[in-house]
Amino acid sequence: MAGSPEESVKRPPTPDQRRGFLARMLALVCGGLATLPPLVAGLWVVLDPLRRQGGAAAFLPVTELPSVPDDGMPRQFTVIDDRVDAWTGFVAEPIGAVYLRRRPGSQQVEALSATCPHAGCFVEIDKAARCFRCPCHNSTFTLDGGIVAPSPSPRAMDSLECRVEPTGGIAVKWQNFLTGVAAKVVKS
């Protein structure tokens, strides 16, 4: 049965109804705002490793100047950086190795990546023969990283930027490069 004409007319909301509606909207907005900080923090944790990978390479502290005697013989050092762990935050762990060398009487430090440019094996130093050798496919390099023919490596060992801090600390700009190609191209 159809209602009376008065019943079908829509009545405007009363002041109480309006207040109730506004209170519900306000609660909804406040609830949404409250979830933002944890959401942003979560996103930061998830995206941080990507940001760090894509960003510029960092200078990482490797050792102190007295640990690299000025006798022209390269010394090997482990490069350590923070890895982001989902449960414990940042964990320091080895990410590679470098050879540091000081020529006689020099305060300058030269750095070579210990990663072989041929296929990524670890290059070893042969102190007796005064050269580097890669055990995987017998590439040989001079002490300043130059390639010795015949070697399968398509290029010399990769030099790295290196600086001696005023405190005597040595920092190396750690980068990985593409292997198996003649050009020295930073791995992205």
Identify which of residues 116 and 172 has a Cβ nearer to ligand FES in the complex: 116
What is the side-by-side order of every strand in the sheet holding 169-173? Answer: 59-64, 169-173, 162-164
| Cis peptide preceding 150, ω within 30 of 0 | yes
CB of 161 to ligand FES, least distance (A): 23
Q: What is the DSSP string of 45-102?
A: HHHHHHHHHHSPPPEEEEEEGGGS-SSS--EEEEEEEEEEETTTEEEEEEEEEEEEE-
Identify which of residues 63 and 113 has a Cβ nearer to ligand FES in the complex: 113
CB of 74 to ligand FES, least distance (A): 17
153 token code pair: 């490596």
Identify which of residues 84 and 119 has a Cβ nearer to ligand FES in the complex: 119
Distances (CA, A) of 19 to 33, 42, 60: 21, 36, 60
Residues in touch with ligand FES (CB under 6 A): 116, 118-119, 121, 134, 136-137, 139, 152-153
CB of 141 to ligand FES, least distance (A): 10
Identify which of residues 113 and 153 has a Cβ nearer to ligand FES in the complex: 153
Identify which of residues 38 and 150 has a Cβ nearer to ligand FES in the complex: 150
133 token code pair: 């050798």
Is residue 142 within 8 A of residue 129, CB to CB? The reply is no
CB of 184 to ligand FES, least distance (A): 15
CB of 146 to ligand FES, least distance (A): 15
